């Protein structure tokens, strides 16, 4: 049974194809025409004022279930949805007021200490629920350069009917990143590839189209899945409910360190569902394609992408831009070509954007500590500096989104402020656990043999 909120491919702005409901779009991943699934703005359910006010007394899992319910009505029973949200969000989401009218939300208390846990954990549980319905089994193949592999592996660990094979370039990930993949065991198979990230990605892509592997029901869990988008609207609502009403002359402006723009999209959806705010800031590193687009009305990807300290944001052509453009009435294909112009005036009004250099990122880590006593890491630091460069504190109540734990970047944090950030508990435990990894040369025939071998025994 399908409910009324339908998702269409961003490559199909005029809806030539029938739409899919959330559950089907989630299981499908990428649309067949290579676009991303997206709902129309006027289909988003809006919370009324009274309901908004009631959120301040609800827990994080309760707010998550409330926001997601309209998207899964008829597909997931209410009490089951609540149980899934409670299970996914069994950790804190701290909101700190670090200066007058300056708030910081730390999305780093999940098992892999980055905000990606929020989306990956809910998507994993939704997928597992829908698989049980159809009695299917699924194998998730994912290649990682660092953080995504750990978040995806942790999110799917121990869930029935799903197994995860994660490929990582052995020589390119940090020990902490590697341990997030190799200490889980069970249904998580970590593969240490003697090669580069590009080799891992190429082997995964090859496997998806290999006829000899078609019986394996392979899928990916990458960030373009709509299942990773919706959960990212919840923490914005949660934060706004905790901050409460802002002074009329200081409305809320939310600063999002951005790479692929999935996090920002979550915020924009929350806002369109009725969250009170004055708008957003897309804070980027030296990959400045988006602020340039806003300044010039011309979009050009940065290619190759620039390597900056905030390495999870080194994206020269953000895939979620296609969704952002759809939200503003335009259409952009996967190469970045615009076939329909978005409402640029509205975009300018809603989203400010600024690029931050590595030197500014370093300075921000030091200044945040010296001026306010807060410890932030390079991604959050890009957001911090955006507030300063745009002079936002004079006009707005600001909410800075910190996307990772400082202990994931101990070298730069220690260098700038002389403090070695304490490891979060989940990562401390991993430091003492035994590692298990398969090894594989960067050659597809070897990887294929490894996969076939594994599949005999799972």
Ligand X SMILES: *Cc1c(COP(=O)(O)O)cnc(C)c1O
Residues that bind ligand X (CB under 6 A): 114, 116, 147, 257-263, 312-313, 379, 403-404
- To the nearest whole angstrom, how small is the minimum distance from the Cβ of residue 147 to ligand X? 5
Nearer to ligand X, 275 or 313 (CB): 313
The span from the CA of 397 to the CA of 240, in Å, is 11
| DSSP annotation string for 351-410 | EEEEE--HHHHHHHHHHHHHHH-----HHHHHHHHHHHHTTGGGT-EEEEEE-B-GGGSH
Count of CB atoms situated within 10 Å of the CB of 34: 14
- To the nearest whole angstrom, how small is the minimum distance from the Cβ of residue 109 to ligand X? 13
Nearer to ligand X, 308 or 390 (CB): 308
- To the nearest whole angstrom, how small is the minimum distance from the Cβ of residue 260 to ligand X? 3
Nearer to ligand X, 61 or 318 (CB): 318
The span from the CA of 127 to the CA of 162, in Å, is 9
List, in sequence order, every beta strand (DSSP E) within 258-375.
Answer: 279-284, 331-332, 338-340, 351-355
- To the nearest whole angstrom, how small is the minimum distance from the Cβ of residue 313 to ligand X? 5
CA dihedral 226, 229, 233, 234 (to 10 degrees): 80
All residues at 6 or more sequence positions from 304 whose CB lies less than 8 Å from its CB, including other chains = 316
- To the nearest whole angstrom, how small is the minimum distance from the Cβ of residue 455 to ligand X? 30
The span from the CA of 348 to the CA of 421, in Å, is 37
- To the nearest whole angstrom, how small is the minimum distance from the Cβ of residue 361 to ligand X? 12
CB distance 162 to 140 below 8 Å: yes
Nearer to ligand X, 19 or 231 (CB): 231
Please give the C-alpha separations between residue 211 and each of 136, 199, 207, 256, in angstroms, as whole numbers.
19, 20, 8, 41
Nearer to ligand X, 108 or 367 (CB): 108
- To the nearest whole angstrom, how small is the minimum distance from the Cβ of residue 315 to ligand X? 7
CB distance 125 to 89 below 8 Å: no
User: What angle in degrees, to the nearest 10, is found between the helix axes of 231-243 and 262-272?
Assistant: 60
- To the nearest whole angstrom, how small is the minimum distance from the Cβ of residue 262 to ligand X? 3
Nearer to ligand X, 47 or 302 (CB): 302
CB distance 439 to 294 below 8 Å: no
């Amino acid at each position: 049974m399908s409910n009324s909120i339908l998702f269409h491919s961003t490559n199909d702005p005029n809806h030539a194809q029938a739409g899919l409901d959330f559950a089907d779009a989630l299981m499908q991943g990428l649309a067949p025409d290579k676009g991303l699934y997206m709902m129309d703005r006027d289909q988003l359910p809006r919370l009324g004022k009274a309901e908004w006010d009631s959120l301040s007394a609800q827990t994080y899992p309760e707010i998550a279930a409330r926001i997601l319910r309209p998207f899964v009505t008829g597909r997931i029973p209410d009490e089951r949805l609540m149980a899934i949200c409670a299970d996914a969000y069994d950790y804190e989401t701290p909101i700190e007021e670090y200066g007058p009218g300056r708030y910081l939300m730390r999305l780093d208390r999940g098992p892999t200490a980055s905000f990606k846990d929020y989306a990956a954990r809910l998507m994993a549980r939704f997928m597992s629920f829908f698989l049980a319905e159809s009695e299917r089994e699924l194998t998730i193949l994912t290649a990682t350069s660092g953080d995504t592999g750990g978040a995806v592996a942790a999110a799917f660990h121990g869930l029935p009917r799903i197994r995860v094979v994660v490929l990582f370039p052995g020589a390119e990930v940090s020990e902490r990143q590697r341990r997030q993949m190799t200490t889980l065991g069970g249904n998580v198979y970590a593969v240490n590839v003697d090669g580069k990230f590009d080799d891992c990605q190429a082997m995964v892509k090859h496997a998806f189209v290999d006829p000899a592997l078609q019986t394996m029901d392979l899928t990916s869990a990458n960030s373009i899945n709509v299942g990773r988008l919706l959960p990212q609207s919840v923490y914005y609502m949660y934060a706004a409910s905790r901050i409460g009403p802002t002074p009329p002359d200081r409305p809320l402006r939310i600063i999002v360190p951005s790479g692929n723009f999935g996090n920002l999209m979550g915020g924009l959806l929350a806002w369109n569902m009725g969250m009170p705010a004055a708008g957003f800031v897309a804070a980027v590193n030296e990959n400045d394609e988006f602020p340039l687009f806003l300044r010039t009305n011309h979009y050009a990807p940065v290619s190759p992408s620039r390597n900056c300290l905030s390495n999870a944001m080194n994206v020269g052509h953000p895939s979620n831009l296609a969704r952002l453009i759809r939200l503003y009435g335009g259409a952009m294909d996967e190469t970045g070509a615009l076939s329909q112009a978005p409402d640029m005036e509205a975009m300018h009004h809603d989203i400010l954007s600024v690029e931050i250099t590595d030197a500014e990122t370093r300075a921000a880590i030091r200044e945040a500590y010296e001026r306010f006593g807060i410890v932030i890491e390079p991604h959050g630091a890009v957001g911090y500096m955006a507030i300063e460069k745009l002079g936002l504190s004079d006009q707005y109540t600001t909410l800075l989104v910190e996307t990772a734990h400082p202990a994931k970047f101990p070298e730069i944090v220690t260098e700038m402020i002389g403090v070695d950030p304490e490891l979060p508990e989940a990562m401390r435990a991993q430091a003492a656990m035994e590692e298990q990894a398969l090894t594989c040369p960067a050659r597809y025939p070897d990887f294929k043999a490894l996969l076939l071998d594994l599949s005999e025994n799972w």
